[in-house]
Amino acid sequence: MIVFQKVTKIFPDGTKALDDLSFQIKKGEFVFFIGPSGAGKTTVMKLLRREITATRGAVIVKGKNLTELKSKEIPQLRRQIAMCFQDFKILYDRTIKENVSLSLEAGGIKETEAEPRIMTALKQVNLEKKAEFFPLQLSGGELQRVGIARAIVGRPDILVADEPTGNLDPVSGFAILKLFKEINLSGTTVLVATHNAEVVNQFEERVIALNKGKLINDTQKGKYKIKV
């Protein structure tokens, strides 16, 4: 489903974020991307959603080279590859239900079709009873679940999360990763960028380890342990 072929990314200030990076991810996999700050994890996520393009090499998703995508095709790509953010990206003047509906509105989904999909997504993240609440009435872990509901309501093929537990306590962080695993078991390919070694060890999924833009380890499910 996802192929990186000798991908290098150099930013205008000369920073080399990725250096000849290659890997493949199959449909339905759950993959952790780990590494210190500056390792290249966020750059991988941005390349996948065509927020930026590679300096050299190819990023291929479902058989399409993302560098060759036309501007009008990018919104469709981003509906297929949903993103969960560390800082939630919640609109505080809208209810939880309204926040979740945003991605469907952008996709032109009619209200009659959107309503049941929104409630199904909220039920998946155990927030259906708080649909009419406002964000200030929710905890940090609940806000992250709102972000997840907003991401999955469009039924994406791939769910990407960049440091999704970074602003959460350990218990809430574990619950969020458990939710990602449940979504993965329903057929969605899930990619999680994190530096939380303890969480990675608990879930025993495939790990792609990066450092200074280079691949230093790609270990299949349950075979890689990180020192905490």
Sole residue written with tokens 């290098």:
8
Number of domains in the chain: 1
Residue 226 lies in a domain: no
Residue-number span of the structural domain to which 112 is assigned? 2-219
- Smallest CA-to-CA distance from 187 within 14, 27, 24 is with 27
Please give the pLDDT value at position 223. Answer: 56
Note the pLDDT tens digit of each residue in 23-73: 999 999 999 999 988 999 999 999 999 999 999 999 999 999 999 999 999
The token pair that represents 62 in the structure block: 């479902």
The sign one gets for the Cα dihedral 152, 158, 162, 163 is positive
- Looking at residue 227, what is its pLDDT? 57
According to the model, what pLDDT value does residue 6 have?
Answer: 97
- Report yes or no on 72 lying in a domain: yes
Token pair listed for 79: 């509906």
Please report the pLDDT score of residue 228 as a whole number. Answer: 46
Q: Is residue 225 part of a domain?
A: no
Using 70 as the pLDDT threshold, list the residues of the chain that sit under it: 221-228
Residue 228: inside a domain: no
CA-CA distance, 178 to 1, in Å (whole number)?
23
Exposed, middle or buried: residue 136 (CB in 10 Å: 0-12, 13-18, 19+)? exposed
For residue 141, the domain's CATH number is 3.40.50.300
What does the alpha-carbon distance between residue 139 and residue 4 come to, in Å, rounded to a whole number?
Answer: 37
What's the pTM value of the predicted model, to 2 decimals? 0.88
> Is 227 a member of any domain?
no
Residue 60 in domain: yes
In a domain, 44, yes or no: yes
pLDDT of residue 133: 96
Domain contains 193: yes
